[in-house]
Structure 1
Amino acid sequence: MYIIASFDYSASLEVALTELMENDISQSDILALPLDKLTEAPRLFDSIHYADGTSLVDMAGILGCIFMLLGSIYGFILEWGPIIWALIGLAIGLVSGFLIKWLFLKTKYKRSFSKSKTEVFLIVYTKEMTKVQKIKEILWQHNAHGLTVYSCH
């Protein structure tokens, strides 16, 4: 039987490993696999081959419409007329919406990279069915994110 669990790399993982060894699980039956972290920031502009679901155009489109409407309304009062002021409002709205969304995504990605920890998958092998429940209890007590049991037979 294989018991597979995922952990953040922390002191609780080290304590769990020590407790497993104290409960007659040999070190050769334990495998800890740290995952590599993404080191480069995600791209802000999508291409035809890469899209992550974030868009810089939505806020620009909304603000462009709002400022264009306001420009056309107040353009009747101002000197250049409603068409010119609507186009000026559209340009201001598009640029400001793009910049707001770009700054928001940039700070969001910066925060997520600074807080991300390395994740570790822990695989424990045992032939005895009686030890499975004890191993699961130990792993859950030490903050496992997820856990599964895989039977070879």
Structure 2
Amino acid sequence: MIMLQLFSTFENNAFLELAISTLEKKGINRENIFVVPLDNRKESRKLFDTLHRSDGTSLIDIGLAIATAFSVIGASIGFELAWGPIYWGLIGAFVGFVVGVVIRLFTEIILKKKKRRLQGKHSEIILIVDCKDGLAEFVENVLWNHYALGVAKVVSDEAKSK
């Protein structure tokens, strides 16, 4: 008989307890159910990227777009001003870049921080169930019906060696 391990993640709530009790009622021994609590991140995420780590968020994308627009406007108006179109185009580009970076910093620090705090769905518990191949489908359905955040099946090493 092939032995499987089912891994699933849950939030820490009553549905996890209900899933475990349902599995025990079906005949899966307590020794074959393993529950591991996870430690959640306590430190906040870093805003600026390093050479070795990047979160995919760019702080200069809006700055470059606004700098382009402001430089075109500055150069157009600069034909009638004292310093000429080149200086006013450069001034417009600099001001637009600074405005864009400030807008992006505001959205990252203020708005997205609130959004990250409100999202709430964090994996807090890992549940590992050892079962025979015939019960795997039932165990997987029980886990999904009790609101598992994710489920994976792995064939046990005992079955691979035979």
Q: TM-score, normalising length from structure 1?
A: 0.84
User: What is the aligned-residue identity percentage?
Assistant: 33
Cα distance in 2, alignment partners of residues 140 and 66 from structure 1: 51
1:56-96 deviation line (CA, Å, top 9, x unaligned):
11211111111011011012233443233222211210111
Structure 2 unaligned residues grouped into runs of 5+ = none
Q: Which amino acid in structure 2 is aligned with residue 58 of structure 1?
A: D
Q: 1:50 to 1:151 in 2, by over 3 A?
A: closer
Q: Match of 1:148?
A: 152
Report the 3-state secondary structure (helix = DSSP H, G, I; strand = E; otherwise coil) of the residue aligned with 1:4: strand
Alpha-carbon RMSD across the aligned residues, in angstroms, is 2.1
1:122 aligns with 2:127: yes
Match of 2:85 in 1: 82
* TM-score, structure 2 normalization: 0.80
Mapped to 2, the partners of 1:130 and 1:49 lie a distance apart of 46
Shift of 1:32: 1.6
Secondary structure of residue in 2 paired with 1:39: coil
Worse overlay, 74-83 or 133-142: 74-83
Cα distance in structure 1, aligned partners of 2:113 and 2:14: 26
Secondary structure at the aligned position of 1:144 is classed as coil
What's the counterpart of residue 70 of structure 1? 73
Counterpart amino acid of 1:144? A
Aligned with 1:125: secondary structure? strand
1:29 alignment partner in structure 2: 32
| Contact kept in structure 2, 1:9 and 1:118, CA below 8 Å | no
Q: When the two structures are aligned, how many residues end up with a matched partner?
A: 152
Cα distance in 2 for residues equivalent to 1:31 and 1:79: 76
Residue identity in the other structure for 1:145: L
